[in-house]
């Protein structure tokens, strides 16, 4: 980490009277939650409350699988590849049904 980032974490940790490692971990957790919240908000905007529930369920299940599941690293890699393939296949399929006026020129 750059020195000024370490100094910032140290100053914040001392201000909140906590361990710098605990502070950094809490900061990572908050960033992760913010990203999850943004993804859920986008799902809700596009697909309604049911889409938001499905997004939360999917994120929680995949997080649990990777964090505490009984899978070894190779299997986790294969699962991640399968999820990415599903995403890209769905994107290609949906591209067929997108009206041309909504497509960007670079696609």
Let me know: does 23 contact 12? Beta carbons within 8 Å. yes
Residue 106 lies in a domain: yes
pLDDT value of position 49: 84
Rg of the chain in Å (alpha carbons): 19
85-99: average pLDDT: 79
pLDDT over 50 (residue 107): no
| CA 86/CA 100 separation, integer angstroms | 23
Q: Does 92 map to a domain?
A: yes
In contact, 13 and 23? CB cutoff 8 Å: yes
| Structural domain total, the chain | 1
Residue 89 belongs to what domain range?
72-107
């Amino acid at each position: 980490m750059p020195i000024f980032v370490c100094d910032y974490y140290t100053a914040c940790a001392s201000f909140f009277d906590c361990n710098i490692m605990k502070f950094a971990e809490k900061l990572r957790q908050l960033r992760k939650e913010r990203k999850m919240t943004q993804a859920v908000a986008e799902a809700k905007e596009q697909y309604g409350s049911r889409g938001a529930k499905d997004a939360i369920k999917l994120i929680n299940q995949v997080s649990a699988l990777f964090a505490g599941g009984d899978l070894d690293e190779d299997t986790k890699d294969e699962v991640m590849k399968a999820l990415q393939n599903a995403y890209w296949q769905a994107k290609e399929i949906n591209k067929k049904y997108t009206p041309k006026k909504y497509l960007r020129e670079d696609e």
